[in-house]
Structure 1
């Protein structure tokens, strides 16, 4: 679907310079001289590179609609992660580095959303929060104030996070998978 350059909004996916880009920030500029333009910060969906581009209202760009499908995480095999389409039961293998740091948060049977463009996966979205057990946590240092101090801890998946002083080994905590940060104790 073609849209004008001044209609690009944050979150839009566009086809530009032969690649797929998501608009991160947009700023409408109306200079004293010359025509108005939209200053757009773009991020490449495939390799993550960033680009600043000016789009005039007279220019048109191709807006891309991504298909989102639900997949279930099955298992890890060498450097690949295996997912299953919950409707067709077809399996999809993605490289670990395609998912990135958040691959450590995948759990057996976890539902994820895979964004596809022309049947090719271009992104994986995990649940925003997961419950994990603290494998080890440093002991509390006497005299430390609870208000501002966090201590390092290691989750059962090997990821290091900072937790409040009252959290101990063996406790289950809720973790934000986007920020890789402690939220609260799990119920």
Structure 2
């Protein structure tokens, strides 16, 4: 058990029988007739629903420790996503609601850490950024190379704004949370 005043982002707690990840937590000292409180936002790991809670600093919550197991993403049938343990070839499935917005970034054979509780899959620990290839983009405008952006289509079908110097075939890093371009990925080091 953990007190509400000790909550930190990233922790997983059990609320109303379901697993919730702490998105944010802040302690506010009370004044006058208002007592101190902990304001926290938690995300339901099964449904993806985020809710805000106001807790007393001494409220007890059950902290849950999840195990991480790297698994290979196989496919989706529209209802669930299927992953395989590369060592045992055992397959597990997670409902579509659990994957949520990460769906567009999942690619077959991608290795993803799956979070488990007592051997049962709960959610995936998706990386903050992914690398994808540019399938199509118009040629760059030389006089505007650094100040303007152009549209590019990625291998997953998503369109993003990229700098003018990006060309077809380039690999770029995309922030998963926002879907925005971060940087071009350079392969191999230049020889002196």
Please classify the TM superposition score into its range, dividing by the shorter chain length: 0.7 to 0.9
Task: Note the C-alpha offset of 1:141.
Answer: 4.7
CA 1:185–1:89: 2 relative to 1, 3 Å = same
Equivalent in the alignment of 1:150: 149
TM (norm. structure 1) is 0.82
Task: Note the C-alpha offset of 1:95.
Answer: 4.2
Equivalent in the alignment of 2:124: 124
Question: SS where residue 31 of structure 2 aligns?
Answer: coil
**Kept after mapping to 1: 8 A contact 2:134/2:155:** yes
Equivalent in the alignment of 1:137: 137
Give CA-to-partner distance per residue, 1:78-130, whole Å, 9 cap, x none: 32433111343211133455323333333343211111234332221234444
Equivalent in the alignment of 1:40: 40
Task: Note the C-alpha offset of 1:142.
Answer: 6.8
How far apart, CA to CA, are the structure 1 residues paired with 2:175 and 2:58?
Answer: 42
**Kept after mapping to 2: 8 A contact 1:137/1:154:** yes
Gaps of 5+ in 1: none
RMSD between aligned residues: 2.5
How far apart, CA to CA, are the structure 1 residues paired with 2:176 and 2:41?
Answer: 24
Q: Which deviates the most, 113-122 or 175-184?
A: 175-184
How far apart, CA to CA, are the structure 1 residues paired with 2:27 and 2:111?
Answer: 38
Task: Note the C-alpha offset of 1:136.
Answer: 0.8
Question: SS where residue 9 of structure 1 aligns?
Answer: coil
Equivalent in the alignment of 1:113: 113
Equivalent in the alignment of 2:90: 90
Equivalent in the alignment of 2:81: 81
TM (norm. structure 2) is 0.80
Q: How many residues align?
A: 184
Task: Note the C-alpha offset of 1:77.
Answer: 4.8
Equivalent in the alignment of 1:6: 5
**Displacement over 6 Å in runs of 4+:** none
